[in-house]
Structure 1
Amino acid sequence: MQELNNILSLIDSHFGGSQWFVFLLLGTGLFFTVYLRFPQVRFFRHALKVVSGKYDNKHDIGDTSHFQALSTALSGTVGTGNIAGVALAIHLGGPSALFWMLMTAFLGMTTKMVEVTLSHKYREQTEDGTISGGPMYYMKHRLHMPWLAALFAVATIFSSFGTGCLPQINSISNAMFSSFGIRHYITGAILAVLLALIVIGGIKRIALVSERLIPFMSVLYIMGAVSVLAYNYDNILPAFGAVFGNIFSGTAASGGFLGATVVWAFNRGVNRGLFSNEAGQGSAPIAHAAAKAEEPVSEGMVALLEPFIDTIVICLITGLVLISSGAWMEKYDNQFQQADTVVLSGTYQEKIPEQKALVSGHILGKQPLPLFTGTLQVEDGKILTTGITILHARSFAEDVRVKSGKESYTGSLAVQNGNVALPVLKDKQVYLTGKSLLHSAPLSTEAFKKGFFGDWGQYIIPFSLLLFAFTTAVAWSYYGDRAVTYLWGSKYVRAYHIIYVAGFFLASFTDTTIVWAFSGVTVALMTLPNLIGILILHKEVKNSVDSYWKRVRGKL
């Protein structure tokens, strides 16, 4: 598992996690924002009117209404990125990572409008009578690059697993186990059956489920978050200060948090921002292509609202909850993820500033420390080997114990270059426990305990994740099946659905870190062809938007 995670992380570091990818993503959004004269500001009110149904025409070609298309697309974006993704970004980059998430969303509002306009314009009606659209269609019909369209479609299929399937159920099952003790595979099995029943019904059933669940779950989650913010009201202004005050200086070590550089905050904020709102990824245009609309630009206007709702509203609220509660820099008892565990050669103490600074430098990649290779001797759960320091989740691990099932472990553990090999004995997994920082859904769960609801607040996260992440998985199954339809036709969609549901179940008990690493790779593979395509067609987009706006103003 550790080797697989290292390979995926290496690939991600050269693509989605690289600086050139971040600049390409933000640069595309900035270019279109200036080129189209800030459409996310100029057209915001008009977008609200369009999605409200003011311009709907039941005779237009399509499978869904404007609101259903928006709900379906939002169901694909409002998910673990809003809960676990924000927590991961702050864990890696500090509070200022949230600022870069918001900037990504603001520029992404324009990117989303552009990609949806083009995809809706070149959509097709398939042999079974349904509408199929997405970036692969404008790449084929307008750019005349079938090879690029095929590359995007293949990337979409992989990304349906890396974005919509694997990390969603993984976060749900982790939250259910943490809060209720429900075994991961049980959660996975139940939800896999429900997923299968919904995806078989196609876009109309998916849209029907989405338009009913999305408003309900968004309001419910925001109400829970507001209860935490109200309880910690005196920390809200300092939280804003932490977000905006360290943008160009990085975040200093505080509590169990060992610090973050400007580069880490910028990179992880943009990366998780993209994962959350998917602007530029080319996924949402597939849902919007099914909308009943004669004017492609009108559907682009609707799409403009997605990053605003998803990131500027929901992710901002989540981030403020994490920061104002202080949960992001506190240590908690937890079961260690193998891929998050590192054993250093040498003894370093967190209470000694000089030694803490050395470990911080190692975490931030400034000055690597020697990694331990050898054997850890364990007796009754306690590690007897001296001259080592154990890190977990980028923090000093405390009160570390080794267990096999529920019992204390006695024996030895092999360590190679800081990576601990954890065996399975008599069908029981050997694992490490102790105190460390948390990230992803477990961190959000702890933050929601620090409000008016106290420990009851922890149930807000698993319930929200259950709704958010499940609807995301549903939406992404549609994105994947449209890609399959483009490549091989409708007859292979059923086989794709079977594989998708099976992968959904298996991911419920897969290592979280590996799932997120795979997700980062698939996001980049899908985003690059789409960004190239919309940049090439920038003049056509501008002409379409200007022409549409003249017609709209003429009707006012």
Structure 2
Amino acid sequence: MNKVFPGALAALALVALAAPAAAQGIDEQVNAIFASSTGWFVSLIFSNFPGTSFPWIVGWLVIAATVFTLYFGFVQLRWVGHSIALVKGDYSDPNDAGEVSHFQALATALSGTVGLGNIAGVAVAIGIGGPGATFWMILAGLMGMASKFTECTLGVKYRNEFENGTVSGGPMYYLTKGFKERNLPGGGILAVLFSIFCILGALGGGNMFQANQAHAQLANVLGDYPGWITGVIFAAIVFAVIVGGLKSIARVTEKVVPFMGVLYVGTALIIILMNADQIGWAFGQIFEGAFTGLGVAGGFVGALIQGFKRAAFSNEAGVGSAAIAHSAVKTKEPITEGFVSLLEPFIDTVVVCTMTALVIIITGQLVSDPETGLYMVTESGAIETVGGTSGVALTSAAFSSSIDGFKYVLAIAVILFAFSTMLSWSYYGLKAWTFLFGEGQTKEVIFKVIFCLFVIIGAASNLGPVIDFSDAAIFAMAVVNVIGLYFLMPIVKRELKNYTAKLRSGEIKKFS
């Protein structure tokens, strides 16, 4: 493995040096090819229900979250205390099969979901849907906890455990094994489709987009410079971490995720406390806007759509990606990781996204346009519509209104979010890759080198259609995954019933 590292970095450097000369021409060619050949797929995944502005894929995820919430009797409310105890390690047996602790698995999965969507996406949702979008965002996040519980329990139950101590798990394994156990056809086809979409999503949305946005924020702070420089640096650091496998990724994410969470949420709390007299008013705006559509075009429905949309795109509940990370946990009871995973949408959406929303509302960065009814962001006396790239500008303006120089804090947050997301998605893509092409060190290194090459491409290019396609691939994962969850949720219910009986009988005891 040590011999591979210098060679891989040399290859990365050569690609990076060649990138600037041909970047523009390649960008144009790739854009044209992808726009013409994959535009139908992107449109299909992100199209709206007929006669509405509500994306059907969001409805697909919200309906699934509602079904799982009801089917498991509001598991996200009844078992949250036990979930926290598991994360603390109270029930952890170090002799159990697996690679990482409950906390490390949670941190790795969180690093893949807590990201730029929490900073820019929330601003766009509030800008379009008003303060009321926050209420529906929180509700969707709470329901999404049940989806994570379902998929991560199955991920552990049907994982592959190898003699060297490593494991492989995720939707591709429970779709094949679970369907076979229930004598259901089509599990293998669904697993292959999921794996293909996962690899495409990992290379695009989980890699190129992250590198591209990290470079954009760095250039905003340091001044314009070639993107390939950022790409090479990021690629070298990412390769150095992922070459060590999941244990190496987990050791990094268990430190990076809490730090970036404290940095961002801590800054938000300071601003909220600085404007403590506005907290009650802000929550009033959230609740009033949730049911009346306070100053929003589309009214109540507009607020609901934006809130649900942001929650679905932020916490990825039902997508199946988190089940891959959680499958590596050390446990002999699959349901325990289901309990741990349900904390993920709570932290990502209910806590981090809500902090962003409160800062934007409290600092008064939004005004209502009396003609359109749409919320706008005010900056230097000018009024601009909120949407597209202005999401980050709105969040930055909101924080900077109370703390000078927030763009530097935001730059650090964006870099950490992008870096941690790339680490997690490198693992997701790797497991999908090995499911399709087989396990083995050589095959793993090939994927890791490819992944790092795409880091450089993403930072140096502006491949819009490619990113759109990869984002669509991520949510195509949800289509395949949720179909499987509907057929396999009785197995999860059986696991829950058995675990509850063991707890009551005292068979399961605390280790610390």
Question: How would you bin the TM-score normalised by the shorter chain?
Answer: 0.7 to 0.9
Q: 2:45 aligns with which of 15, 28, 44?
A: 15
Residues 267 and 508 of structure 1: is their aligned pair in 2 closer, same or farther, counting only changes over 3 Å? farther
Q: Which residue of 1 aligns with 2:345?
A: 307
Q: 1:41 Cα deviation (Å)?
A: 0.8
Rounded to whole Å, the distance in 2 between the matches of 1:485 and 1:66 is: 24
Question: Quick one: which of 233, 236, 257 aligns to 2:276?
Answer: 233
**Structure of larger gyration radius:** 1
Q: Decide whether aligned partners of structure 1 residues 319 and 394 sit closer, same or farther in structure 2, where only a CA change above 3 A counts.
A: closer
Q: Which gives a bigger RCO, structure 1 or 2 (Cα 8 Å, sep 6+)?
A: 2
Q: Helix, strand or coil for the counterpart of 2:328?
A: coil
1:247 alignment partner, SS class: helix
Distance 2:285 2:230 in 1: 37
Matched, 1:33 2:69: yes
CA shift digits 1:511-533 (9 cap, x unpaired): 49757644541232110111111
User: How do residues 112-511 of structure 1 correspond to structure 2 at under 5 angstroms?
Assistant: 112-126=148-162, 130-144=166-180, 145-181=187-223, 183=225, 185=227, 186-252=229-295, 259=297, 262-328=300-366, 356-357=371-372, 437=386, 439-451=390-402, 453-454=403-404, 456-490=405-439, 491-511=442-462
Higher helix fraction (1 or 2): 2
Which of the pair is proportionally richer in strand? 1
Unaligned runs of 5+ in 1: 254-258, 331-349, 365-392, 401-433
Instruction: Look up the match of 1:549.
Output: 500
One-letter identity of the residue aligned with 1:90: I
Answer yes or no: is the 8 Å Cα contact 2:98–2:165 preserved in 1: no
Q: Partners of 2:175 and 2:147 in 1: how far apart?
A: 16
Q: Offset at 1:510?
A: 4.3
Q: Which residue of 2 aligns with 1:49?
A: 85
TM-score by length of 1: 0.76
Equivalences, count: 460
- Counterparts in 2 of 1:207 and 1:142: CA distance versus 1, 3 Å: same
- The whole-number CA distance in structure 2 between the counterparts of 1:310 and 1:435 is 28
Work out whether residues 168 and 469 of structure 1, in 8 Å CA contact, stay in contact via their aligned partners in 2. yes
Instruction: Give 2:144's match in structure 1, choosing from 108, 112, 137.
Output: 108
Name the stretch that deviates more: 321-330 or 183-192. Answer: 321-330
Report what 1:369 is aligned to.
none
Q: Deviations over 1:286-307 (max 9, x none)?
A: 0111111000001111101111
Q: Distance in 1 between matches of 2:82 and 2:433?
A: 34
1:70: Cα distance to partner?
0.9
Q: Separation in 2 of the partners of 1:515 and 1:397?
A: 32
| Deviation string, structure 1 residues 230-253 (Cα, Å, up to 9, x no partner) | 233343333323322222443536
Change over 3 Å in CA distance of 1:9–1:459 after alignment to 2: farther
Out of 315-324 and 441-450, give the one that drifted further. Answer: 441-450
Contact 1:162 1:519 in 2 (8 A): yes
AA at the equivalent of 2:490: K
Q: Relative to structure 2, which stretch is displaced further, 4-13 or 540-549?
A: 4-13
**2:243 counterpart letter in structure 1:** I
1:481 deviates by 0.1
Q: Judge conservation of contact 1:136–1:149 (CA < 8 Å) in 2.
A: yes
Measured in 2, the distance between the counterparts of 1:311 and 1:5 equals: 32
In structure 2, distance between residues paired with 1:140 and 1:244: 44
Identity of aligned residues (%): 38
Q: How far off its partner does 1:264 sit?
A: 4.4
TM-score normalised by the chain length of structure 2 = 0.82
Structure 2: segments with no counterpart, 5+ residues: 1-27, 49-54, 181-186
- Which string of whole-angstrom CA distances, capped at 9 and with x for unpartnered residues, describes residues 250-303 of structure 1? 3536xxxxx465444433432321222111110111011111100000111110
Shift of 1:395: 9.1
Matches of 2:468 and 2:299, distance apart in 1: 21
Question: Which residue in 2 is equivalent to 1:431?
Answer: none
